[in-house]
Amino acid sequence: MAGINQSTLFGYGAVALSALAMMGSVLTGGLGNPIGIILTLFGAIFAYLVFKFGYAVIPIITGAAGIVVKTETGYEIPPSQDAILRKGESGMFFASSFMSIKIRESASTDKSGDQNLPYNEYFERAISNMKFVTKISYLLYVEDVGEKRKLIETRKAEAQLRLAREKDKPEPDVLKLDRFEREVAKWEGELNKLIKGIKPMGAVAYAMTTGTGITKEAALAAAKSQASELKAVLTNAMNVEIDVLTADEMLRAFEWEKIVPTTGMELEASVN
């Protein structure tokens, strides 16, 4: 499964198409051949889109062409590229859906127990509302202190600049002032934690749920329904943003079920 990188495969295919078009253009009529130029440009643009936005482009391609990807380990990826299928020994089909979890706020060491209590209650409430088995995974790592400090100082300066510009207006917006002040305070707090010697922790979170059915379609429908319900429950109960993963992003989360990145830099590079 780790060897499957659809963005790379489609991208290299587009590069090859562009190269062949250019060679054909040279051999048949020189670089001025309009058909060759069009095909070359199409290949180059398509390659860029696939490499840059493969998670969105590939499902469109596979969905339109009805392409089903099958792996050597018995898993199947439908044309929609939003779930992973497998037939069990009982004859039932299992479909797993993966979702990214973007955490806006979490329980923190710089908060008091009373401040962390509501967040913990929200998490417990979210879990208690789930009607099916859900796996929520966190990949944790220590961030580079030097780079983290530069990032925080930059974000703080940007927030201070926005605040100063708003204050300089003849009639500053009270809501914007409040938001910008909270941004400055947030980055100031993050900077103070670094100064105190608290190591910055990074986290990548994702959720997984599996639906079953007597047919592939039924299993996929169950997985999609559970993913939609899970998204609603976690979004409403916790301060998080949920997105269903597709294409290579989904495959990456599936690979993390077996092997995780060995360094924080490797993990950051894989999700950025």
From residue 214, alpha-carbon distances to 130, 219, 226 in Å are: 23, 7, 17
149 occurs within a structural domain: no
pLDDT in tens, 109-166: 445 445 555 666 767 776 777 788 888 888 888 777 777 788 888 889 998 998 999 8
Q: Are residues 229 and 101 in the same domain?
A: yes
Q: Domain for residue 265, yes or no?
A: yes
Angstrom distance (rounded) from CA 22 to CA 19: 5
Please give the Cα distance from 220 to 96 (Å, whole number). Answer: 8
Nearest CA to 95 among 197, 227, 187? 227
The 10s digit of each residue's pLDDT in 228-258 is 988 888 887 776 788 888 888 888 888 888 8
Q: Are residues 98 and 40 in the same domain?
A: no
Q: Which domain holds residue 60?
A: 1-67
Taking the C-alpha atoms of residue 222 and residue 228, their distance in angstroms, rounded to an integer, is: 10
Distance CA 249, CA 53 (A): 11
Picking from 44, 67, 90, the residue at the C-terminal end of a domain is 67
Work out the percent of the chain whose per-residue pLDDT is above 90: 11
Given its phi and psi angles, is residue 66 left (phi above 0), alpha (psi -120 to 50 degrees) or beta? left
- Identity at 235, one-letter amino acid code: T
Residue 209 pLDDT level (bands cut at 50, 70, 90): very high
Characterize the bridge pairing of strands 93-103 and 76-77: unpaired
